[in-house]
Structure 1
Amino acid sequence: MIVCMNDGFLPVSKADMEKNGIEQLDFVLVTGDAYVDHPSFAHAIISRYLAAHGYSVGIIAQPSWKSFGDFKRLGRPRLGFLISAGNMDSMVNLYSVTKHRRAKDMYSPGGKTGKRPERSTVVYAKRIREAYGNVPVIIGGIEASLRRFAHYDYWDNEVKPSILIESGADILVYGMGERPIIEIAEALDGGLAAQDITYVEGTSYFTPTLERVYEYMELPSFRQVRADKKVYAQAFMTEMRNRKEALVQKHEKGFVVQNVPSKPLDQKELDFVYSLPYMRAAHPMYQKPIPALDEVKFSVTATRGCIGACAFCALFYHQGKDVAWRSIKSVVDEIKQLTLDTEFKGYIHDVGGPTANFYGVTCTNPKGRCTARRCLTPEKCRYLKENHAEYVRLLRKVRTVNGVKKVFVRSGIRYDYALLDKSGEFVKELAVHHVSGQLKLAPEHVSPDVLKLMGKPEIEKYQRFCQKFAAASKRAGKKQYVLPYFMSSHPGSTMMDAVRLAEFIRDTGFMPEQAQDFYPTPGTLATCMYYTGLDPETGKKVYVAKSTEEKSMQRALIQYKNPKNHRIVKKALRKAERDDLIGNGKKKLVRD
């Protein structure tokens, strides 16, 4: 019997199952995050999407992993277990860039830590195997997606095999999972063994031989990429760019096969995903709030995907650069629903996505969006069609919804793309209606060499955007300013580059409250640079700051005015042979 449970939260206990007349669930989804039934949480989307297609799904959130007992809470599912480490890679969730344990877990009740293990996907899969043997196990989410091939692991400082090997899972879903998960569910429901589901786009699997694999490109093996950093860099570029044929990588006892990516959802399908009956709240079993929900409860996702392809961001490797956007009606309908919440105060905190102003962007290349180059840097691709008019229409519409006082835009804004809007309407709308005091932007650096490696526009474009925003704010009679974010120690950033950034901060008269140190997370171009010391796009050597002391110096230079940083700033300036910036005077960074 298949039960589609659309009223209330999905089952988290046997009592819930009995209450809803469910003897055996079709799927049990295990997640490292607390159970929050909100479309900003991947486990909510996947479980609701399956339910909408007629499958019953139960949730085991943040199980005790010391034994397999907690994984038997809902019994053996009819079709299989789904595993996600959560909205973040578990190691990023647990550790800061300095490899110290974080004091807070935003995805756990009350922000309490200790609710998930290291490398959660692997641990959960092993406990499920202990509990149920050969039950189908499907892994997905950001952790699995970014570790689908042999990959550099910052925390162990080594190249690890595919997470498929370490977890023993049957299928890995990478990227956005709605299309693949339904196809997998239908195959399992039709009686196909998990090991035989080898054809679904957007999935990877392990096979002892390549007898049944056709038309593929073979990557260097796990052993080869572990032994040679140049080979690792070459393999990574193939993984990132080749999205039109299957990829194969040999491991010790067989091969990891990646099928071509799943096609993005079209607008009608995306609208459907966000129309599902989410409770938009954390499960009532929690006594304390989930901090991550507070950040997004009154925000609306309008887009998916990003053409920015910043080197330090894993989105391109995870999803590709196809941008999909919801219809204006779909977004408006969701906001109308938010206004009915008793906690709603009239403020929509965000209408955006990975990059808010990519809403409506299109590619006119007759061969489809390519992966061989970036769309915006070093220059805009001729096939990229700028379209801010649709986003402006969306913003104008949502702010007229009854009960809405103000709509903020807090997602990232790509300022070089915004400058392509010759009408100036987007910047005007932003300044007049969708910012309150400050607009956060991320130029990240000022050095041309570093920005090029980052895939970010030159700093002059940031300055031009700031001028336009300031002018629009002034005409509106508003005192508003741009709050910039900068990154230290990105591959390519020398001490001289870090000093140049500090001088820029000095000359603009603005002191950042926060400084972000580059974090080598799986699946990014910049992490490949960090590990190999090479630019994988060109094969040229790249300077990488790796010592704790130098990374601390580069970070301190961004906040050189902070008295706590004076000693290390002086040391950094002397190392860079810039003693001229030590002493008294407006142009000095720190006193002697």
Structure 2
Amino acid sequence: YEQVRDDPALYAHASRILHKETNPYNARPLVQAHGDRDVWLNPPPIPLETEELDLVFEQPYTRLPHSSYGDARIPAYEMIRHSVNIMRGCFGGCTFCSITEHEGRIIQNRSEDSIIREVERIRDTSKAFTGVISDLGGPTANMWRVACKSKTIEAACRKPSCVYPGICKNLNTDQTPLISLYRRARAVSGVKKVLIASGLRYDLAVETPEYVEELVKHHVGGYLKIAPEHTEDGPLS
């Protein structure tokens, strides 16, 4: 620990080691000396199946800030109060981001029905709802149901990223399930607009031109967030 703390190059090296142990199906435990103790890091947990993730998201949450905030205005809450998280995880492996560490590199998907039920709950329970869903997204806007074509290959893979330096040939990049989800969400009674505010991976998006057309026609609220690895050199290297 002390060496990593004091040396930026070793810190980067340690981060890379961590990224290479993010596949829950083949990751090895990591041990770091920390003073007179050792810190043991277990491999990531096995991703939740869709039914399990639905169960997590459909608990009776209040969707309200903690009561200790009282009547205080919380800008971060107002930004996401009418948004819906449709998935967890990211396989981008970007050097500037820690999502892989706390959500996993394998995408965990909610079902379309579960997502629509949450949209309906927002409509029915939020007094501030004006008909606009501010986001259907997650760590990335368009990785929902994107996964490796082979469970066997996925379980053996040691690559930190599925999209760097190019999209892996084993990655299913089909975005048509998102088109179906967006259309169904737009059709919910009482919903006037569904925006996509999460950052877009357009290297994946352009693999399905119909998705880009659907997104731009119906779901862009003035600005479309583009993940920085598409415009800046270095973030994925």
User: What TM bracket, shorter-length normalisation?
Assistant: 0.7 to 0.9
Counterpart in the other structure of 1:360: 145
The offset of 1:373, in angstroms, is: 4.0
Counterpart in the other structure of 1:328: 112
2:41 equivalent among 242, 254, 258? 258
Q: Which letter does structure 1 place at the counterpart of 2:159? A: A
Counterpart in the other structure of 2:133: 348
Unaligned runs of 5+ in 1: 1-221, 456-536, 538-592
**1:242 matched to 2:26:** no
Greater RCO (Cα-Cα under 8 Å, separation 6 or more): 2
* RMSD of aligned alpha carbons: 2.1
Unaligned runs of 5+ in 2: none
Cα offsets for 1:46-71 (capped at 9, x unmatched): xxxxxxxxxxxxxxxxxxxxxxxxxx
2:197 equivalent among 410, 418, 424? 410
Identity of aligned residues (%): 38
Distance, in Å, in 2 between the alignment partners of 1:407 and 1:282 is 23
The offset of 1:230, in angstroms, is: 4.6
Counterpart in the other structure of 1:316: 100
Contact 1:298 1:350 in 2 (8 A): yes
Distance, in Å, in 1 between the alignment partners of 2:222 and 2:35 is 57
**1:454 matched to 2:235:** yes
Cα offsets for 1:123-177 (capped at 9, x unmatched): xxxxxxxxxxxxxxxxxxxxxxxxxxxxxxxxxxxxxxxxxxxxxxxxxxxxxxx
Distance, in Å, in 1 between the alignment partners of 2:166 and 2:229 is 18
The offset of 1:225, in angstroms, is: 3.1
Q: Which letter does structure 1 place at the counterpart of 2:191? A: V
The offset of 1:362, in angstroms, is: 1.0
Distance, in Å, in 1 between the alignment partners of 2:79 and 2:7 is 42
The offset of 1:377, in angstroms, is: 2.2
Contact 1:282 1:289 in 2 (8 A): no
**1:298 matched to 2:88:** no
Partner SS state of residue 16, structure 2? helix
Distance, in Å, in 2 between the alignment partners of 1:302 and 1:310 is 21
Counterpart in the other structure of 2:50: 267
How many residues are treated as equivalent by the alignment?
229
Cα 1:344–1:319 shift into 2, 3 Å? closer
Q: Which letter does structure 2 place at the counterpart of 1:439? A: L
Matches within 5 A, 1:115-514: 222-226=1-5, 230-243=9-22, 244-284=27-67, 286-340=70-124, 341-365=126-150, 366-368=152-154, 370-421=157-208, 424-443=209-228, 446=231, 451=233, 453-455=234-236
Partner SS state of residue 238, structure 1? helix
Distance, in Å, in 2 between the alignment partners of 1:395 and 1:287 is 34
Contact 2:19 2:93 in 1 (8 A): no
The offset of 1:383, in angstroms, is: 1.1
Cα offsets for 1:202-260 (capped at 9, x unmatched): xxxxxxxxxxxxxxxxxxxx244346555444333222212411111112222111111
Partner SS state of residue 308, structure 1? coil
Larger-Rg structure: 1
Q: Which letter does structure 2 place at the counterpart of 1:242? A: E
Q: Which letter does structure 2 place at the counterpart of 1:343? A: A
Contact 2:135 2:194 in 1 (8 A): yes
Q: Which letter does structure 1 place at the counterpart of 2:121? A: Q
Cα offsets for 1:175-219 (capped at 9, x unmatched): xxxxxxxxxxxxxxxxxxxxxxxxxxxxxxxxxxxxxxxxxxxxx
The offset of 1:374, in angstroms, is: 2.0
Contact 2:93 2:160 in 1 (8 A): no
Distance, in Å, in 2 between the alignment partners of 1:444 and 1:326 is 26
Distance, in Å, in 2 between the alignment partners of 1:337 and 1:263 is 29
Q: Which letter does structure 1 place at the counterpart of 2:31? A: V
Q: Which letter does structure 2 place at the counterpart of 1:412? A: G
The offset of 1:413, in angstroms, is: 0.6
Q: Which letter does structure 1 place at the counterpart of 2:216? A: A
Distance, in Å, in 2 between the alignment partners of 1:275 and 1:317 is 24
Q: Which letter does structure 1 place at the counterpart of 2:235? A: M
Q: Which letter does structure 1 place at the counterpart of 2:154? A: G
The offset of 1:426, in angstroms, is: 0.6
Contact 1:346 1:405 in 2 (8 A): yes
Distance, in Å, in 2 between the alignment partners of 1:278 and 1:284 is 14
